[in-house]
């Protein structure tokens, strides 16, 4: 398992150095998960759904004292790195070797060895490559250079991975409050929400979610407003020309 030192001096295990540096900038420097009123407080409980190698989990655990993180990652190779980072950095909480879905099931899962963060049950190699090329062009690369960078990054393998529901894990862990639910599951956002029982919605105080399609954004936004959340949507300027957006949702008062 390879290790690298991030710009803040933190040593982490990783799968791809370039991908890890990119995620570090988004999570630690740009603070992409703590915007539009989303906050963490000491002792909060965070669920990191689609945790990948655990950089977001690391960030949350370092942001405030005694934050507990429950992380979920279904791809076996990625989960092993996630677990190692939990142990190495002594993150308070637990890494789970499965994903969250609308039911307890095994599902085909498209795994990109060189772009693990974009792997998922609804991942589409052609779509994902197109989004990445657009991001790179918006960053200043030529079309030719963007195609060169993306080449072979979306070669994939199909795995069968395990999934359960958020409410099933709530029953197992007896968690009373989810202070922040972070979801990054590559176009399977609605399936995660479908696995939340009516009684468990009251436990969730804040949500940050990457949404991949316009129709998903409308469905997710409507569902959260109906559940009493205030919703804000923002698209990174480098993603202009794609449907990818970030959604931030919070209740009027933390309880």
Q: Report CA-CA distances (Å) from 37 to 33, 207, 227, 232, 249.
A: 10, 11, 18, 9, 9
Question: Which two tokens mark 15?
Answer: 């799968």
Which pLDDT belongs to residue 29?
A: 95
**What pLDDT, in 10s, does the model give residues 165-185?**
999 999 999 999 999 999 999
d(C-alpha 219, C-alpha 34), whole Å: 23
Neighbours of 87 (CB within 10 A): 11
Q: Is 235 helix (H, G, I), strand (E, B) or coil?
A: coil
Q: How confident is the model at residue 253 (pLDDT cuts 50, 70, 90)?
A: low
* pTM score, whole prediction: 0.94
d(C-alpha 15, C-alpha 83), whole Å: 13
Highest average pLDDT, of 61-75, 145-159, 238-252, comes from 61-75
Cβ atoms of 66 and 42 within 8 Å: the answer is yes
d(C-alpha 181, C-alpha 208), whole Å: 6
Is residue 248 scored above 90 in pLDDT? yes
Neighbours of 123 (CB within 10 A): 21
Q: Which CATH architecture has domain 34-251?
A: 3-Layer(aba) Sandwich (3.40)
d(C-alpha 195, C-alpha 15), whole Å: 30
Give me the residue spans of the domains in the chain: 34-251
For range 11-40, the mean pLDDT? 95
Angle at the Cα of 63 from the Cα atoms of 36 and 139, rounded to 5 degrees: 55
For range 232-252, the mean pLDDT? 91
Give the chain's mean pLDDT: 94
Which pLDDT belongs to residue 255?
A: 39
Question: Which two tokens mark 233?
Answer: 């949507």
For range 234-248, the mean pLDDT? 91
Is residue 91 scored above 90 in pLDDT? yes
d(C-alpha 209, C-alpha 211), whole Å: 6
**What pLDDT, in 10s, does the model give residues 104-156?**
999 999 999 999 999 999 999 998 999 999 999 999 999 999 999 888 889 99
Which pLDDT belongs to residue 24?
A: 95
Which pLDDT belongs to residue 254?
A: 43
Q: What is the share, in percent, of the chain residues with pLDDT greater than 90? A: 88
Which pLDDT belongs to residue 236?
A: 87
Highest average pLDDT, of 126-130, 197-201, 237-241, comes from 197-201
């Amino acid at each position: 398992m390879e290790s690298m030192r991030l710009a803040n001096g933190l040593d982490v295990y990783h799968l791809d150095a370039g991908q890890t540096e990119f995620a570090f900038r988004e999570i630690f420097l740009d603070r992409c998960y703590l915007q539009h009123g989303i906050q963490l407080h000491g002792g909060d409980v965070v669920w990191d759904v689609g945790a990948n190698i655990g950089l977001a989990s690391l960030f949350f655990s370092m942001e405030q004292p005694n934050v507990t993180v429950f992380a979920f990652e279904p791809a076996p190779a990625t989960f092993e790195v996630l677990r190692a980072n939990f142990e190495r950095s002594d993150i308070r909480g637990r890494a789970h070797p499965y994903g969250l879905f609308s039911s307890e099931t095994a599902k085909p899962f498209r795994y990109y060895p060189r772009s693990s963060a974009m792997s998922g049950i609804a991942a589409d190699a052609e779509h994902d490559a197109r989004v990445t090329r657009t991001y790179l062009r918006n960053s200043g690369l030529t079309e030719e250079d963007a195609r060169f960078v993306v080449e072979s990054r979306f070669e994939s393998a199909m795995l069968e991975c395990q999934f359960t529901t958020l409410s099933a894990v709530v029953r197992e862990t007896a968690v009373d409050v989810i202070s922040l639910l972070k979801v990054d599951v590559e176009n399977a956002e609605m399936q995660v929400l479908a696995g939340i029982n009516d009684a468990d919605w009251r436990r969730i105080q804040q949500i940050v979610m990457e949404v991949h399609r316009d129709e998903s954004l409308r469905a997710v936004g409507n569902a959260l407003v109906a559940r009493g959340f205030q919703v804000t949507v923002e698209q990174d300027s480098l993603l202009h020309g794609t449907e990818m957006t970030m959604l931030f949702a919070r209740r009027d008062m933390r309880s």
